[in-house]
Structure 1
């Protein structure tokens, strides 16, 4: 007999997803946390959204949070400090 470990993500008594990897289960749980916060924010928005539409939009935004943050800025590499020194006469 084989033993399989499963991680269940449960919200409000409802099983949302099953994982075999704890890291993935935790990541999905954090995604749902973010979606809940976004749903609360959207509930107070000055637009009329039905509850189902608001929940779907909140989950969509949570799933695409990297795109919402915008493009990552490239950090400049440190150059020779002598080139960074300005001479004031």
Structure 2
């Protein structure tokens, strides 16, 4: 029998993602925190009325925080590196909830 450690990111009682390393789980949890903080910022701008679109945009911006940071500092956006097959194998994606 094999023993396998898994790290699960849980937000508001809902499992978001499962990882095989604590470092990856912590990084994903931090990204969700950033997305949660972006939602009120985007809502205050009153540019987008659809709350689902705001949440999706906040999630995208949080995922691309490094590129966004470069852009805000006057640099150019570099495409995010593609995940290798081994990276993808360590993550089990769960159905995304409407509230990040």
TM-score, scaled relative to structure 1? 0.75
User: Which consecutive residues of structure 2, in runs of 5 or more, have no partner in the other structure?
Assistant: 77-100
Moved over 6 A (4+): none
User: After superposition, what is the alpha-carbon deviation per residue over 1:29-65, rounded to whole angstroms, capped at 9, x for unaligned?
Assistant: 0000000000121121121331110100000000111
Equivalenced residue count is: 72
TM-score, scaled relative to structure 2? 0.67
TM superposition shift of 1:66: 1.1
Distance 2:9 2:55 in 1: 17
User: Which consecutive residues of structure 1, in runs of 5 or more, have no partner in the other structure?
Assistant: 73-89
Q: Give the alignment's Cα RMSD to 1 decimal.
A: 1.4
Distance 2:3 2:62 in 1: 34
Residue equivalent to 1:50: 50
Structure possessing the higher radius of gyration over alpha carbons: 1
RCO higher in structure (CA 8 A, sep ≥6): 2
